[in-house]
Every structure is written in C-alpha cells, then in structure tokens.
C-alpha cells in the first residue's frame, strides 16, 4: 500500500458505526414485530378456543332450556287429557258398579293416577277406586289428615267452574319410604251448576315417568322441586364424570304451582390437548406465509399501478389533444394502438341504464299490484266462508230454543272446525299466490281427484244454497292420482264453479243445475291426463265476450276484478295442462281443464 492510497474503512469509523446501529435497529424492530405477531396469533387462537367452548356450552344450555319448556308443555297437555277423560266419565252418570269398572280401566291405563273418588257437594265420598299398581297406598287416616286441603281444593274448583289442584304432600309407607302426591278436583256441572266432584290423586313420580320418561329421561334427570331446591320426585339418572347443566321452569296450575328441574351432563371432548398445538403451529405458518405473499403482491401491484398510471396519463393527454381519435402503427404497418372519442357512446349507455332502472321499478310495482289483486280476489272465498260459519254459530247461540240449555256441541264444533279449515286455507292461498307471482316452482303433491272434489264441496254447497242451485258430481272411480299444487287447483275449481252458479242467477233460468265431472282425457290424448269439467245451465257466453274472456282485468260483473279466469288459465298451464270452454245445448257453458297424473313408482 502506497502512502497516497486511501486508508481502509475501520470498524471504528463513524460511518461504519452508523451502519451497524441502523442494521441492529432494523433487526431488533423486525424481531419485535415477529414476537408481537406470534403473541397475537397465540392470543387469537386461545380466544377462539375459549369462545368455542363458551358457545358450545351456551348451545347445550339453550337446548336444555327448550327441552324443559317442552317438558312443561307435555305435562300440561297430559293434565288436559286427564280432565277430558274425567269429564267424559262424568257425562255418562254411571251407577256404582259400572262406575267402578270404568274407573278401574282408566286407572290401569294411567300409572300416574293413584286414586279416583266421587264426592257430593259436602265432600262425602260416594265411590272410590285405587290404582292396581298402588292398591294399599291410602287408608282412612291418610284421607282424614288431608280432608281440609281436599275441601279447599274442591271449593276452589267450584268457584272456577273447572279443575283445581292442591299442594303436594308426602304419603309415608310401611317400609319406611313414601311418595309425593297431589290432588285434582273436577266439579260435575249440570246446566252450569256444580252437583258433585270427581277427585283424582296424582303421584308426582309417576307423572315424570309417564309423561316425560321416554322423551327426556334417557339423557336427562328430571325432577319436581320446591323453591329452596328440595326434590319432591326424581326420574332418570346421569353419570357423574361430566359437566352439569341445569334448567328450571314453572308449571302454573289452578290452585298451585310446581317447579320442574332438568339436569343434563356432557363430557369434555377427547384429544383436545393434542389438537391445540398442531392448530397453533398450522395457523402460525399459514399466517406468516400469507403475510409474505401479501408483501410481494403489494410490491408488484404498486409497480404495475405506477406503470399503468404513466401510460394512462400519456394516452389521456394524446386523446384530449385530438378531435376524433388516435391510431398508431409500427414500421411494418401494423396497428399498435387506437381509442376513439366515446363521449356519445357513454351518454347513450347512461340513458339506456336509466331506462332499464325505470323499467325494473315499473316491473316491481306491477308485481306488487298483481300480488295485491290476486290476494284480494282469492281470499274472498275463504273469508266469506269464515263469515258464514261464524254468523251461523252466532245465530245458533242466539236461537230462542237454546235460552235455557246450551246448543248442541256437535254443531258448534263442526262450525269451529270449518272456520279453522278455512283460516288454514286462506294461509295456503297467500303462500301459493306469493310463489305464483314470483314465478317460483310450487310445491306439488300427489292427490286423488276425489280429494280435490271433497275439499271444495263445502264452499260450493254454501254458495249453491244461497243461489238455489243444485250440485251434481260425476266422478270416474278408476282415475289415477294427479300431481299438482293442491291449493291452486282447488282455487281453479272454486272459481269455475262460482262463475257457473252466478251465470244461472237470473229469473229466466229455471233449471239451476251445476255439474262437476271428472274423467280421463279424451281417447285421442294420452292416458296420463285427468279432465275436470264444470257445466252450468246459465245464459252462456256471447262471441264478443268470448274473445276477451281470459284477458286480465276484463270482467262483466259490477263487483268483479277480472282476474279469476286469467289466474285459472295460468295455474293450469303451469301444470302443463290447458283450460278451454264451449257452449252447451240448449243453454249453458262447459269449462274443462286437464291435469297430469302422478308418475307410477
């Protein structure tokens, strides 16, 4: 080395010291970031595992709460069935020997029944029968000790004109054990006045076993408890090496309240400690790999964005300086670049987009209007039927001959059943019309033609009675079942039948006969079709009306909406069939439509 050569950079040089400090700072900062990243990953995974355990426990607790609520409902429903059985027994007014035989049968069928007594208004026992499963449970002393509670319970049932329950009490046995029981007193009413009582003694243990044992007792422990936690009756058992979950529900009864408790257990999942480290390692490697890939992708994206921004800026400047456009060629005459003035094209596209949005809004409004119109049209029939049955029930209740005695329960029950059926039918109509308007595939089912006729006959007979029309049905018994949307097909048949009866509602129509006929399709067609026909003896359809008969919102009725026949044809065509009509001689019109039969399995 010559004297004129520069000295080498020593480790003590200020520049070297600065470089080492910067490198060390960068390394320390990167190491700190990795430590922070690892800590965040561990914290995240631990939190996820903890939240998963909490979620699983909350789900199991929620399921146990639902089971407890369902169990209370099952017990209440069981009590209701018992009340109905005792009321049926009271209505028979049997003598002692027949009463004993009937009660013995009920006691053998209901293990929760320990004793049944028939008492007068003063509480004197007229007849009594004990369960064959617990024949010696009660004696005279036991009944005497509980006489005051029984009298109070029966007085409460007399005030309520219905069943009343006593508080539970313990009945000891000779073997040193016993069981918890409860009384239910049911008044015997004649013309709304109590003339006696039926006293039923329940065993709380047997209530749990018979009403809940098969459903809940296999996987849970169920019990009746007092407010302080004392168990009155228990059914079921649980292993002890599991985590305990508990749910309670109140069972409110007239005169008393019981508390039902349900205990359930679940085990800790196996292999959890082995899965967690592998999960942490896999998640850490995956997270670091994703971060590295994201850094590389971000660098490539930034470079591409800068290059693209430069190219776009250049082209924009070139395009803005021209009136029409720009075209570039290479030395061989090939076009390497071209963009034109697309302002007018963009304006047209914007106008087209605005028009499309307006058309879509109009279509939505039309769909809403169509749904509202169809609902108002199709709900007229079930709502009118509900109103008719309700009016008939009120007239039956207000009839002079029922001023002292209640009307027959069978008539009222039939009316209420019809009201319930038509309310359910209205709900099905709403769902079917909703699916029909949205052009969804309706839920089709296999149904016999006879079932379709039977379903619409109550409504058809109701309107036929008002219009003095006689209904005649002709049904081929050899018909195959059909595959259809039952609710919409019933609406089609109802609309056609209603139109036929209204076509005969004129003074000069003396023969008012409406025929509903179901048969196979004509010989010229496939045997996989069933034909429904509605034939009236009305005024017929003129040629000018026939041309617009299926046009939506076209009607000849003052109160009509013009949607019935249009809806009928659309429903039939969606099933693959067709709807048509023809004139009858000497008067009247025949409407017929076809539906496909169900495929053979």
In this predicted model, what pLDDT tens digit does every residue of 497-515 receive, in sequence order? 988 998 888 887 878 899 9
Query: How far are the Cα atoms of 320, 372, 458, 531, 582 from residue 490, in angstroms, in the given order?
Result: 69, 20, 12, 14, 21
Give the mean model confidence (pLDDT) for residues 319-326.
Answer: 64
Tell me which of 74-78, 318-322, 579-583 is least confident: 318-322
| pLDDT higher than 50, residue 391 | yes
- Give the separation between CA 498 and CA 491, rounded to whole angstroms: 10
Long-range contacts of 554-559 (CB under 8 A, 24+ apart): 557/502
Which candidate, 568, 575, 580, 569, places its Cα nearest to that of 483?
A: 575
By the 10 Å C-beta count (0-12 exposed, 13-18 middle, 19+ buried), 489 is classed as buried
- Give the separation between CA 372 and CA 390, rounded to whole angstroms: 26
Helices and strands in the chain: count of H runs, count of E runs: 14, 19
- Which pLDDT score, from 0 to 100, does residue 41 have? 65
Q: Could you give the 3-state DSSP secondary structure of residue 92?
A: helix
What are the tokens at 411? 């008539």
pLDDT in tens, 271-282: 444 455 566 667
- Torsion, Cα of 279, 280, 282, 283 (10° steps): 110
- Give the separation between CA 595 and CA 601, rounded to whole angstroms: 18
| 264 Cβ contact list (under 8 Å, min separation 6) | 60, 64, 67, 219, 220, 221, 238, 244, 245, 246, 247
pLDDT in tens, 414-426: 777 777 777 776 7
Tell me which of 25-34, 380-389, 543-552 is least confident: 25-34
pLDDT in tens, 288-309: 677 777 777 777 888 888 888 8
- Which pLDDT score, from 0 to 100, does residue 35 have? 66
pLDDT in tens, 150-171: 889 999 999 988 999 999 888 8
Residues in the chain: 601
Alpha helices in 248-330 (DSSP H): 272-320
Write down the mean pLDDT value for the chain: 77
Which candidate, 148, 205, 207, places its Cα nearest to that of 171?
A: 205
Q: Are strands 513-520 and 470-475 parallel, antiparallel or unpaired?
A: parallel
Residue 207's φ and ψ, nearest 5 degrees, are -60, -45
Structural domains of the chain, ranges and CATH numbers in brackets: 76-265 (3.30.450.20), 272-340 (no CATH), 348-440 (1.10.287.130), 441-596 (3.30.565.10)
| 202 Cβ contact list (under 8 Å, min separation 6) | 112, 113, 114, 181, 182, 183, 184
């Amino acid at each position: 080395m010559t004297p004129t050569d520069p000295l080498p950079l020593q480790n003590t040089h200020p520049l070297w010291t600065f470089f080492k400090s910067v490198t060390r700072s960068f390394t320390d900062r990167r190491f700190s970031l990795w430590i922070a990243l690892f800590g965040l990953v561990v914290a995240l995974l631990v939190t996820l595992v903890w939240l998963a355990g909490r979620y699983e426990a909350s789900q199991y607790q929620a399921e146990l709460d639902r089971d407890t609520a369902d169990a209370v409902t099952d017990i209440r429903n069981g009590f209701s069935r018992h009340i109905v059985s005792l009321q049926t027994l009271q209505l028979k007014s049997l003598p002692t020997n027949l009463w004993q035989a009937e009660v013995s049968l009920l006691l053998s069928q209901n293990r929760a029944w320990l004793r049944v007594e028939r008492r007068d208004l003063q509480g004197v026992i007229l007849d009594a029968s004990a369960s064959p499963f617990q024949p010696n449970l009660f004696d005279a002393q036991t009944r005497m000790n509980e006489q005051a509670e029984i009298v109070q319970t029966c007085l409460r049932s007399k005030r309520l004109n219905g069943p009343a329950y006593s508080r539970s009490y313990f009945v000891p046995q000779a073997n040193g054990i016993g069981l918890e029981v409860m009384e239910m007193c049911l008044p015997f009413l004649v013309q709304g006045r109590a003339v006696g009582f039926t006293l039923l003694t329940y065993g709380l243990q047997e209530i749990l076993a018979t009403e809940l044992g098969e459903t809940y007792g296999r996987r849970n422990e169920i019990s009746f408890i007092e407010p302080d936690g004392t168990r009155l009756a228990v059914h079921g058992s649980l292993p002890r090496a599991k985590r305990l979950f508990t749910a309670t529900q109140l069972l409110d009864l007239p005169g008393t309240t019981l508390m039902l408790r349900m205990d359930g257990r679940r085990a800790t999942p196996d292999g959890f400690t082995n899965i967690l480290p592998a999960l942490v390692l896999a998640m850490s490697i995956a997270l670091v790999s994703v971060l590295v890939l994201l850094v590389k992708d971000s660098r490539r994206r930034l470079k591409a964005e800068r290059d693209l921004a430069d190219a776009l800026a250049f082209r924009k400047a070139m395009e803005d300086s021209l009136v029409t456009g720009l075209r570039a060629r290479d030395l061989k005459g090939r076009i390497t670049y071209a963009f034109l003035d697309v302002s007018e094209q963009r304006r047209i596209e914007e106008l087209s987009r605005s028009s499309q949005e307006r058309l879509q809004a109009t279509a939505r409004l039309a769909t809403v209007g169509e749904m509202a119109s169809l609902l108002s049209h199709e709900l007229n029939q079930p709502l009118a039927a509900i109103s008719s049955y309700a009016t008939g029930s009120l007239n039956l209740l207000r009839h002079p001959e029922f001023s002292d005695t209640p009307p027959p329960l069978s008539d009222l029950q039939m009316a209420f059943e019809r009201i319930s059926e038509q309310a359910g039918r209205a709900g099905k109509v709403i769902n079917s019309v909703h699916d029909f308007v949205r052009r969804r595939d309706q839920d089709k089912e296999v149904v016999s033609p006879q079932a379709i006729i039977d379903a619409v006959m109550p409504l058809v007979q109701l309107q036929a009675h008002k219009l003095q029309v006689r209904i005649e049905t002709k049904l081929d018994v050899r018909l195959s079942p059909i595959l259809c949307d039952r609710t919409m097909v019933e609406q089609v048949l109802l609309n056609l039948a209603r139109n036929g009866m209204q076509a005969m509602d004129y003074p000069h129509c003396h023969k008012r006969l409406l025929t509903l006929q179901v048969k196979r399709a004509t010989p010229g067609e496939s045997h996989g079709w069933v034909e429904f026909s509605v034939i009236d003896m009305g005024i017929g359809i003129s040629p000018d009306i026939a041309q617009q008969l299926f046009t939506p919102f076209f009607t000849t009725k003052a109160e009509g909406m013009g949607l019935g026949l249009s809806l009928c044809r659309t429903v039939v065509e969606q099933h693959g069939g067709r709807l048509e009509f023809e004139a009858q001689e000497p008067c009247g019109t025949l409407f017929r439509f076809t539906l496909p039969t169900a495929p053979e399995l």
